[in-house]
Structure 1
Amino acid sequence: MSPSLILACLWGVAANVLAMTPSRDHHWRNAYVLIAIGIPILGYVTWQNGPWVGLLVLVAAMSILRWPVIYLGRWMRKRMGRG
């Protein structure tokens, strides 16, 4: 397994552990940190393993951080005038 995929797996484990901890702000601070760390890891995975593996890792990360993706979609729809 390549180092980039190991980092992506560790990111996924860390995200699940953080999800099990109590949080006053409904885990938004954790989500921001995970996004900031996850974007370079996603780029590294894509660079080292190709775009299809990068796309799979992106989909996996989006399933873990689904609420930021949902709110981004709502915000974009509202900005486009379709909300």
Structure 2
Amino acid sequence: MQHGIHPTYRPVVFRDRSADLVFISGSTLTGEETTEIDGRSYPVIDVDVSSASHPFWTGQGRVLDTEGRVEKFRRRYGIDA
């Protein structure tokens, strides 16, 4: 591995404001804002969606009914299987 060409990998705070969730993870991202957690200062990265606010993980997602689409297409265009 060459020295001096790779970004620094360090702990970063990811913040999902819509779900009021903050978690620390390793990343090469940098942020201008910092926050202090447990006496240590971390850069902050704001995210739009996390597991706390994503519809799939929160159970608020919709399941689309796809049954019958192929049959509907075949009826419409007269295609036999």
Judge same fold: TM > 0.5, yes or no.
Answer: no
Q: Which has the higher contact order (CA 8 A, sep 6+)?
A: 1
TM-score scaled by length of structure 2: 0.25
Task: Decide which structure has the larger Cα Rg and report it.
Answer: 2
TM-score scaled by length of structure 1: 0.24
Higher helix share: 1
